Amino acid sequence: MGNEVNTEKAVKSSFSKGYRMLPARFQSEARKEIMAKCGWKSIVTFYNKCNGRVKIFKLEVVAIEKFFNQYNLNPWTGEYLY
């Protein structure tokens, strides 16, 4: 019980843990794909949302989770899904 992750709180903070878990060779393409799916126009917006400085909206949450599922990662915790 103590190890459970409060996804709602994690979603509001950042997805940097999941992003850092991606191999470095995939990070650039991952950033571009997430930005395109979420409609973010600048790298600054990406990193502000990634690091939790700007709120992530519900539709963006869905796109981010769908993207990270391809890599078997939870974007909010950085842990493998299975």
pLDDT for the residue 2: 46
Q: Label residue 1 by pLDDT band (50, 70, 90).
A: very low
Q: What is the pTM of this model?
A: 0.83
In whole angstroms, what is the distance from residue 56 CA to residue 42 CA? Answer: 15
Residue type, 34: I
**Crossing angle (nearest 10°) for helices 24-38 and 43-50:** 100
Over the stretch 9-54, which tens digit does the pLDDT of each residue have?
554 568 999 999 999 999 999 999 999 999 999 999 999 999 999 9
